[in-house]
């Protein structure tokens, strides 16, 4: 049996408050529930999924370096960092495969959410499909796995 491929799902600031935070935008599922769900999705796809969340930019950058050094694909919701963090974008640029996910449709909200400094370094972007965007990103990683 081949080993399941490792995948990191990394969530940026305020996403630890899923379920409490603006439920009309982000839904009622908590981050812990999302983690359990995505681990299950990964098992079904033959992926070993690890889900992490941080409100601290340096911690996130460290995780992206870890992914770069170990050649681990990443599903990343950079949250607010999407729109302004060149440091996160520079770290993303070092990771061979990153799929950027947004729960909400960032193009249908405030103007400042329409621009991503991360997208130029992402393989692709999924936005507006709710938490299902993470599942779609994992399905794609499974489909393109070596």
| Other beta carbons less than 10 A from residue 94's beta carbon | 14
- Binding segment toward ligand DQA, per CB under 6 A, in 36-44, 67-75, 97-105, 118-126: 97-105
Q: Strands (DSSP E) along 25-142, which ranges?
A: 47-53, 74-77, 98-102, 124-127
Query: Is the distance from CB of 49 to CB of 138 less than 8 angstroms?
Result: yes
- Binding segment toward ligand DQA, per CB under 6 A, in 30-38, 39-47, 62-70, 103-111: 103-111
- Taking CB atoms, the residue at the shortest distance from ligand DQA is 79
Task: For residue 126, report the phi and psi dihedrals to the nearest 5 degrees.
Answer: -120, 125
Q: Which two tokens stand for residue 144?
A: 């393109």
Which residue among 7, 102, 138, 141 contacts ligand DQA (CB under 6 A)?
102
What residues from 16 to 75 belong to the interface with ligand DQA (CB under 6 A)? Answer: none
Contact status: 104 vs ligand DQA (CB under 6 A): yes
Which residue among 9, 64, 89, 103 contacts ligand DQA (CB under 6 A)?
103
Residue closer to ligand DQA by CB (options 42, 78) is 78
Residue 10 Cα to chain centre, angstroms:
5
Respond yes or no: is residue 26 known to be catalytic. Answer: yes
Contact status: 5 vs ligand DQA (CB under 6 A): no
Write 105-109 long-range contacts (CB < 8 A, 24+): 106/82
What does the binding site for ligand DQA look like in residue numbers (CB under 6 A)?
14, 77, 79-80, 82, 102-104, 106, 113
């Amino acid at each position: 049996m081949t080993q399941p491929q490792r995948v990191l799902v990394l969530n940026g600031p305020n996403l630890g408050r899923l379920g409490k935070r603006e439920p009309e935008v982000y839904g009622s599922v908590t981050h812990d529930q999302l983690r359990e769900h995505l681990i299950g999705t990964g098992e079904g796809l033959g992926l070993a999924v690890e889900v992490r969340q941080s409100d601290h930019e340096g911690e996130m950058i460290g995780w992206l370096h870890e992914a770069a050094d170990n050649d681990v694909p990443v599903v990343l919701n950079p949250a607010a960092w999407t729109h302004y963090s060149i440091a996160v974008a520079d770290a993303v640029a070092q990771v061979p495969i990153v799929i950027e996910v947004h729960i909400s449709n960032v193009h249908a909200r405030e103007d400042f959410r329409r621009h991503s400094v991360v997208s130029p370094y992402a393989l692709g972007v999924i936005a507006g499909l709710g938490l299902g965007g993470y599942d779609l990103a994992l399905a794609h990683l499974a489909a393109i796995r070596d």
